């Protein structure tokens, strides 16, 4: 059967799309080319009217075009006469393109009469053709005036587009502010659709308590009717609080992945720009996009950038634009409009400085604390990050987890990467425990400075300095057990003392004083061996010891004279006045110095009573450069005190790198976290480092 030609399937119309950017680029290139080459070649030469008259009488002029409204005449020379006037041009060559010359006249010049008078003197066949008119020059005038401005506008738009793209353009939904300079008020948040969020709770190791909290949010998003049927309301938001690197952002992504909903992510600093009103506009646009995608999750990372408490330090750090942005955020989270199905997750490590209005119920209904991982959680995190690594058969994840207390998830990821790099650097085929231990030492203490040359006196002082730390830390019950002592320069330190901190939350006064004794032990051993002459190696020790002493007096109420008072400023910032009188300030200084003097006297007596052991330990350090806990135990016996020697049973006395880490006594004084034995060698090490050196 013949087909009906009218029943043929219509052909699909092909739509040709033109990229506006390329059109702008071509126009820009055309404008530049026209400006560069429109007057290319040798330009016409200016002459006077008298010279023109002589040229006409000599029979060299072919024609003259006179523009009346410009009082300008353009002179075209006969080809055979051009060589006569070559000397009038700088190049020595007469241009072939007409006109070759031009001249200007005054308003009193009457062209008809003047040209007729000259032509009357010439033969009829030699008279010059004269053209007189009023030239409008419409297009040339337009180009002369409009083109420069158009060129500047195109260049500005090109540059502005690049800047807006770098400032966070290409956002979700409407395309962000980077594609259009006029979309600067659009949200720069990145949208991950529900089918693109592939992170679940299986990918989040540890964080048992935090995951239990956020699972309820997931259940809200999956089964909202379960709660609304009883009259309950879906929470507006949850605040993830914890130290940097603990996995707050990863946990928020896991919530979106488990709930199978779209996920908007944005940083708090992206709201505030140099333009007035941009932050508030971006907040409105973000929530408008979120409502369209509801149910969904909006994640604001580092919310303290925009949510800092208002009214603090007015006149010094006030920012009306930031406060307007915060006000708009408060309105969107609990305003007249309904944001049903939109849950806001935010992350910060400074919850103490956030505005109280932001923290109230109905906005961020709950705070979820994401803490540093404990031993079991660190094991899980190590297993996650070593999943794609080629490990040796004797790899013991539990041993490495025990030697990394106080490490965050990000720190553990860095340790795993450094171990892989270190093994590759050595040409090994698999990553062993020693590689992980070396990576811990590298991250904690820095790179070994193997080429550093120490004089015998410096090496001797460093050995006694480290021996003073180790002996005080071993004999005092409140100190964590020493795992390794080294006088190999590492980072900015000439020597290092590692200890394995207890994962304790609270510290007593005796713990803090014992820790201070350990810090000052290096300086005292130096002075004893150096005839009472101190060196500069204890700078970091003194810095941390001073912080602990003042924290005991001003924060923790551990001074009888000052009493149970705390001057800790949880809000941070700079106060123009101290919350106590000058008399109290003097008393605080006296009490802090009294604590340090007592600690120094106690440590000096401790080291003198055990000086023979200090000498043996120092001489062993000079000989071996690295000693382990077993070497210290062979001299002084089991570790003293409540920490017990059972914590050292996992240490087989192997390579120096296979022992644990160290920590920050100054950090302990301010947060109550586990302490570490360490100090600085040359005054350059950071007090916040888990370990440092001496001398």
pLDDT score of 24: 64
pLDDT score of 179: 43
Average pLDDT of the chain is 75
Residue 166 contacts by C-beta under 8 Å, 6 or more apart in sequence? 178
Per-residue pLDDT reduced to its tens digit, 489-538? 776 777 778 777 776 778 888 889 998 999 999 899 888 888 888 888 78
Q: Which residues share a beta bridge with 132?
A: 66
Per-residue pLDDT reduced to its tens digit, 561-576? 988 888 887 655 555 5
Percentage of the chain modeled with pLDDT above 70: 73
CB-CB contact of 621 with 487 (8 Å): yes
Dist CA 407 CA 380 (whole Å): 13
User: Which position has the higher pLDDT, 542 or 154?
Assistant: 542
pLDDT score of 257: 79
Dist CA 493 CA 446 (whole Å): 9
Confidence of residue 677 (pLDDT cuts 50, 70, 90): very low
Residue 109 scores a pLDDT above 60: yes
Secondary structure of 10-38 in the HEC alphabet? CCCCCCCCCCHHHHHHHHHHHHHHHHHHC
pLDDT score of 588: 92
Confidence of residue 598 (pLDDT cuts 50, 70, 90): very high
CB-CB contact of 251 with 214 (8 Å): yes
Residue 163 scores a pLDDT above 70: no
User: Which position has the higher pLDDT, 303 or 495?
Assistant: 303
Residues serving a catalytic function are 466
Joined together, the tokens standing for residue 391 give: 């490990």
Residue 652 scores a pLDDT above 50: no
Per-residue pLDDT reduced to its tens digit, 414-452? 999 988 998 898 888 888 888 888 888 888 777 777 666
pLDDT score of 656: 32
**Which range is most confident: 140-144, 274-278, 462-466?**
462-466
The DSSP letter of residue 450 is T
Per-residue pLDDT reduced to its tens digit, 395-416? 888 888 888 888 888 888 899 9
Per-residue pLDDT reduced to its tens digit, 267-287? 887 777 656 677 788 888 888
Q: 34-62: string of b/e by CB count within 10 Å (b at 16+)?
A: eeeeeeeeeebbebeeeebbebbeebbbb
Joined together, the tokens standing for residue 100 give: 């070759």
Residue 672 scores a pLDDT above 50: no
Q: Which residues share a beta bridge with 348?
A: 241
pLDDT score of 517: 92
Per-residue pLDDT reduced to its tens digit, 214-224? 888 788 877 77
Residue 417 contacts by C-beta under 8 Å, 6 or more apart in sequence? none
pLDDT score of 670: 32
Per-residue pLDDT reduced to its tens digit, 609-625? 999 888 988 888 888 88
pLDDT score of 526: 87
CB-CB contact of 447 with 480 (8 Å): no
pLDDT score of 67: 86
Confidence of residue 161 (pLDDT cuts 50, 70, 90): low
Q: Taking Cα atoms as reference points, which of 364, 366, 360, 287 lies closest to residue 325? A: 287
**Which range is most confident: 119-123, 192-196, 213-217, 646-650?**
119-123
**Which range is most confident: 2-11, 174-183, 354-363?**
354-363
User: Which position has the higher pLDDT, 9 or 247?
Assistant: 247
**Which range is most confident: 17-21, 234-238, 308-312, 365-369?**
365-369
The mean pLDDT of 57-65, rounded to a whole number, is: 88
pLDDT score of 592: 93
Joined together, the tokens standing for residue 141 give: 């005038």
């Amino acid at each position: 059967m013949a087909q009906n030609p009218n029943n043929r399937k219509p052909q699909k119309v092909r739509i040709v799309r033109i990229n506006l950017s390329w059109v702008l680029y071509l126009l820009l290139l055309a404008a530049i080319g026209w400006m560069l080459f429109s007057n290319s070649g040798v330009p016409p030469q200016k002459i006077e009217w008298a010279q023109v008259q002589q040229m006409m009488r000599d029979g060299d002029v072919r024609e003259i075009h006179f523009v009346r409204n410009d009082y300008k005449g353009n002179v075209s020379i006969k080809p055979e006469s051009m060589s006569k006037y070559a000397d009038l041009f700088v190049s020595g060559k007469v241009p072939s393109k007409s006109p070759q010359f031009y001249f200007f006249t005054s308003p009193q010049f009457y062209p008809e009469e003047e040209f007729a008078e000259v032509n009357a003197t010439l033969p009829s066949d030699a008279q010059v053709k004269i053209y007189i008119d009023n030239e409008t020059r419409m297009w040339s005038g337009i180009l002369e005036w409009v083109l420069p401005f158009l060129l500047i506008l195109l260049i500005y738009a090109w540059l502005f587009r690049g800047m807006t793209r770098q400032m966070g353009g290409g956002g979700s939904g409407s395309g962000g502010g980077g594609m259009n300079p006029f979309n600067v008020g659009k949200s720069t948040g990145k949208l991950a659709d529900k089918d693109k969020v592939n992170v679940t709770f299986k990918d989040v190791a540890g964080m048992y308590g935090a995951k239990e909290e956020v699972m309820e949010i997931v259940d809200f998003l999956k089964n909202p009717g379960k709660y609304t049927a009883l009259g309950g309301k879906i929470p507006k938001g949850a605040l993830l609080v914890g130290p940097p690197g603990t996995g707050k952002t990863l946990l928020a992504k896991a919530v979106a992945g488990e709930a199978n909903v779209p996920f908007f992510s944005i940083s708090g600093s992206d709201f505030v720009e140099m333009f007035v009103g941009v932050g508030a506009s971006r907040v409105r646009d973000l929530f408008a996009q979120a409502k369209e995608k509801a149910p969904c999750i909006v994640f604001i990372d580092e919310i303290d950038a925009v949510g800092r408490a208002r009214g603090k330090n007015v006149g010094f750090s006030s920012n009306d634009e930031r406060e307007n942005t915060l006000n708009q955020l408060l309105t969107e989270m609990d305003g007249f409009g309904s944001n049903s199905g939109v849950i806001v997750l935010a992350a910060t490590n400074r919850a103490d400085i956030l505005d109280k209005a932001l923290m109230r119920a109905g906005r961020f209904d709950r705070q979820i604390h994401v803490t540093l991982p404990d031993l079991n959680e660190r094991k899980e995190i190590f297993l996650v990050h070593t999943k794609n690594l080629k490990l040796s058969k004797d790899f013991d994840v539990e041993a490495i987890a025990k030697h990394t207390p106080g490490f965050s998830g990000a720190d553990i990821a860095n340790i795993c990467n450094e171990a892989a790099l270190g093994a590759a650097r050595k040409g090994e085929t698999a990553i062993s425990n020693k590689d992980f231990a070396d990576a811990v030492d590298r991250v904690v203490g820095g790179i070994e400075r193997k080429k550093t040359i120490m004089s015998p006196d410096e090496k001797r002082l460093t050995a006694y300095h480290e021996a003073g730390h180790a002996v005080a830390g071993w004999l005092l019950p409140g100190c964590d057990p020493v795992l390794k002592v080294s006088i190999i320069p590492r980072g900015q330190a000439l020597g290092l003392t590692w200890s394995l901190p207890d994962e304790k939350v609270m510290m007593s006064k005796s713990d803090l004083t014992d820790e201070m004794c350990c810090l000052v032990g290096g300086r005292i051993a130096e002075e004893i061996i150096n005839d009472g002459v101190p060196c500069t190696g204890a700078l970091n020790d003194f810095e941390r010891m001073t912080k602990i002493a003042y924290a005991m007096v001003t924060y923790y109420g551990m001074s009888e004279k000052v009493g149970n008072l705390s001057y800790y400023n949880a809000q941070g910032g700079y106060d123009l006045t101290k919350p106590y009188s000058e008399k109290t300030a003097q008393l605080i200084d006296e009490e802090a110095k009294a604590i340090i003097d007592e600690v120094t006297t106690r440590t000096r007596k401790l080291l003198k009573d055990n000086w023979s052991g200090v000498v043996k330990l120092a001489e062993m350090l000079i000989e071996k450069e690295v000693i382990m806990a077993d070497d210290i135990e062979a001299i002084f016996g089991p570790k003293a005190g409540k920490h017990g020697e059972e914590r050292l049973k996992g240490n087989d006395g192997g390579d120096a790198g296979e022992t644990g880490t160290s920590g920050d006594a100054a950090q302990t004084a301010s947060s109550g976290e586990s302490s570490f034995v360490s100090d600085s060698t040359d005054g350059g090490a950071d007090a916040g480092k888990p370990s440092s050196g001496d001398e």
